[in-house]
Each structure stands twice: as structure tokens, then as C-alpha cells.
Chain A
């Protein structure tokens, strides 16, 4: 029983890590990625190959996965962000990038093509993921509260104005992209050592979609909102064991509904803090005395 719960929670937190990274990118720069699954895949394969073939220490391999993913983020980000592609072009470029990475995974010898890597050591457990989640959330929080973070928000709101204020659009976007690539890579590494088997077909557009859906639903401009959304997206369907297609029907519906009715996302720009819960508790308690 506990095993199962901790399994679901571990799995949810892996999604949280990737979603928080993407929240820093999409939520704070306003660029839309259709290919973040590729970064997850790069992290998963890099760390998986290191522990599987070369018996590298798990933590070392995990970091290597994040770094590798970040490097690829630089390679893909440099031309696309330097050219100041408008967001549609950027989105389609990431779509192509996601596919291209999958093609490579299917054809390289080291990744063993479609058969994937079976029997990667089971290293990811709840404490491991918890530690990484806390680190990622802490770094993300510091990032958005730093000068860069505020600049990023300015870029999202109005990049022309931000640029006129002397903000370097490219640097800001690049840093956020690389941060999101690194976290996606870490999530991938944790995923590989949780499932213990990876193959290219696990990292399709559907994964990118789920990550983006988490950011949008949680609120673009919030960190805790997307984190909570990521947990809900994994835990609820798991608990109800609804067929996955109905889950995806709900994602789609949710995305449109949020854009139409509540574009700031469920939590908007706010963060969930102790205050949120306290206010919530007050509200629940006052339910008895006044209409709620």
C-alpha cells in the first residue's frame, strides 16, 4: 500500500521537476515549446547510458544528464533565440527539434534504437526525488526573484518595452531555456532510474503537451501553481484509473477553458504559500456560520 503511494508520489514529483523548469521558460518569457519531451529524453538517455554501460555513480550520471540536456538547450536555443523568431516560429522549430531528437534515439547504436535500454538500475525513490525537487524549486525561486527573473517577467509582458529598457532579450530567454532544459534533463534521469527501462517512444509530443498543460493550468508566472498542477495531473488519473484518452480529453478542455475564462491559470501569478492554506482553512471554518 505505502509502496504504491510512494510510487505515485515519486512519479508525480518527477513531473513536477520538469514542469517547474518549463514554468520558468514558458511562464516567464512567453515562448511556447512543443518539444520539451526531447530534453527529458536527452537527460534520461545520458544518465541511463552512463549507469547502464559504464557503471557511473547514479548522482553523477543524473547531473551529467542535466548538463547534457542544458548543452543541447544552448545549441538549439542559440540560433532560434538569436534570430528572435516570433513565438509561432519558435514553437514549430521546437516541434521539429522534438521529432529530430527522437529520430536520433531510434537510429543511434548507443541508445539501442527502438529496443531501448532495459534493466537500468532502480535508483530513484521518494527521498531522492524529494531532494531534487526541493533543490529545483529553490533554484527556480531564486532565479525568478533575481534581476534576471524580473527581467524575464518584463519580457513576457511586453518584450518591445523591455528591450527599450535595456534588457537583453536574448540573454534572458537563453538563460530560462537552458534552466528548463536542465530541469527537464534531471527529470529524465530520475524517470529512467524509476521505470528502469527507456525507449524512444516514451518521449513523444504527448509528454511535451502534458508538461505545457501543467504550466498553463497552474498559472503562467507562478512556480508552485504548475508544481501542484503537475501532481494533480499524475495523481488524479492514477487514482481514478480513468482511461488515458479521457484524461487527455480533459487536458484539452482544460487548456481551452483556462485560456477563455482564466488566462492567468488556476493560481495566476500568485504563489501558494502557508498563507494560502491558512486563508483556506479560515474559509472552511467560517462555512458553518455564514454562507459559503
Chain B
């Protein structure tokens, strides 16, 4: 029971981590909470579902389509909703409202056009299980853990070693100085959104396969936001640790205390942690940029 709970918790935490990374990536550069991230994930899931079931393409094409679709959408989101705020040097409050507006807009647009029905991916991988130490782990979970580790590690490598990655990291410390040093900030931020969007596409297909596809599925990112704050906004390792921590905590509370009041525990963890460590476990900034 204990080990099974732990395995389940890690599997759920992995989902949170995958989503928290994309969200934290945007934060690390632009320094604001991109609340539109959940709706980008949702549209990625719809794209993947459509390609797979309606057009009968193989899974990897569907994943690719979701990645490309979400990346383009995230890029467009930046150009439409954030870039003018960026040029105006607006405070992060304005960014957050714009992001929330985007989320409400996209989600309800799907409601109004596609409708509120639930869709499920065909059962390809979902029904097979691995036996790990006498516990059962869905093959999809194992796949997700491996895949998201590769994606997260790849991203990490990219940020550490590539020229663009170094520029991103520089910009995340000081955008103006890096611009003076010849970094094309617009292109760079566009790239960050493309990357975050690609991660959103992967998360979307994965969530869709694991659970189902529906307009408000992006709300699960609320958990990813909490995970990212626990880990420290803007820190990629923090997002991963925060996600796993939250997933395990929630699963243990559900299994040993009560599933119904689980969210009170998540919230209390968040508040207590913020009191002790105001910028999360691995947070970068304490103070807001002025």
C-alpha cells in the first residue's frame, strides 16, 4: 500500500512537473505568471486528438502536430497579448490580467464552438501495466516519466550550452543589459514561448491520453502553478521538485486521510512554505522588478 501510493504519487507528480516546467520557463524570462498556459495545453490536447482520431494519423504524428500547434499558439499569444505590454514596460499585474483574459477567451471559445463534450484518446497504451516492486504502474505513466525527463533534461541542456540558451538565461537576469549586448530580445522571447508551447503540446496529448479531452482540462494547471510556486517560480529544477512533491503529498493525503479535503493540505503546504521561504524552494527573485 505504501509503495503503491508512493508510485502513484510520483506518477501524478510527474504530470504536475511537466506542466510546471513550461510555465516556469516563461516566468524565468518574462517574470510573470502565464495563466494562459493551461488553455494552450488544452488546445494541444484537442489538436492531438483530432489528428489521431479524425484524420487517422499515427500517434507520433499526433504528438508532433500537438507540439507544433501549441508552439504556434503560445507564440501568437505572446505577440498579441504580451508584446505591447512588454514594450510599455508594464507591471506584472497587467501581464497576469492579459494572460487570464487569454485563458478565459480560449477556453470558452472551445466551449462555444467545439462544445462541452468529453473525448477520449483510443486505448493504445493506457491499458497496459508494468509491475514494479509488486506495485502496478501504468505503461503510460512510465512512458511519461521517461519522456518528460528527456524533455526537461533537453531543455536544461539547451539553456546551459546553446548560444540561444545562454542568451535566454542572461535575459532572465537582466533583459535590458542583454539587449545592450546585442541580444535580439523579441526573437529570444518568441523562442521561449515556442519552447514552452511545445512542452504544452506534449503535456496536452499526455493528459488527454491519461484522462480525457474537454474544454476545462487546462484547470489542472492550477496544480502546476502551485507546484511551481512551491519549487520557486522561474526555476526549472524547482518546478520538477515542486511537482513531484505536490503529487506525492496529495496522493498520501488522499490515501491516508481524505481525498475530499486534500486541497486544503496542498494550499496549507503552499502558505507555510511561502512563510518560511518566500521565494519557494529554488526561487530566484524575492522582490518584484520595478
Contacts and interface: CB of A to CB of B under 8 A. Distances in A.
A122 to B, nearest CB: 32
Interface in B83-107: 84-85, 88, 90-98, 100-107
Interface stretch (A16-24, A78-86, A173-181): A78-86
A209 to B, nearest CB: 6
A123 interface: no
Contacts of B270: 92-93, 96
B148 interface: no
Contacts of A256: 80-81, 98, 101-102, 105
Interface string A88-108: 110111011101100110110
Interface stretch (A59-67, A191-199, A246-254): A246-254
Q: Select the residue from B98, B267, B268 with max chain A CB neighbours within 10 A.
A: B267
B278 A83 contact: yes
Contacts, number: 150
Interface of B is mostly: helix
Contact of B274 (A87, A93, A159, A263): A93
A183 B95 CA distance: 26
A255 interface: yes
Q: Select the residue from A30, A32, A243 with max chain B CB neighbours within 10 A.
A: A32
B233 interface: yes
B97 A32 contact: yes
B96 A95 contact: no
A259 B97 contact: yes
Q: Select the residue from A83, A88, A100 with max chain B CB neighbours within 10 A.
A: A88
Q: Select the residue from B93, B112, B264 with max chain A CB neighbours within 10 A.
A: B93
A255 B98 CA distance: 6
A26 B93 CA distance: 9
A3 to B, nearest CB: 31
Contact of A252 (B33, B91, B104, B229): B104
B105 A253 contact: yes
Nearest to B83: A260
Contacts of A104: 261, 264
A269 B248 CA distance: 47
A252 B271 contact: no
A103 B111 contact: no
Contact of A91 (B33, B101, B280): B33
Given A92-B33, A93-B271, 5 more contacts: A93-B229, A95-B222, A159-B290, A259-B81, A259-B94
Interface of A: 26, 30-32, 34, 79-80, 83-89, 91-93, 95-97, 99-100, 103-104, 106-107, 158-160, 209, 212, 216, 243, 245-246, 248-249, 251-260, 263
7 contacts: A30-B93, A85-B274, A107-B261, A252-B102, A256-B80, A260-B80, A263-B88
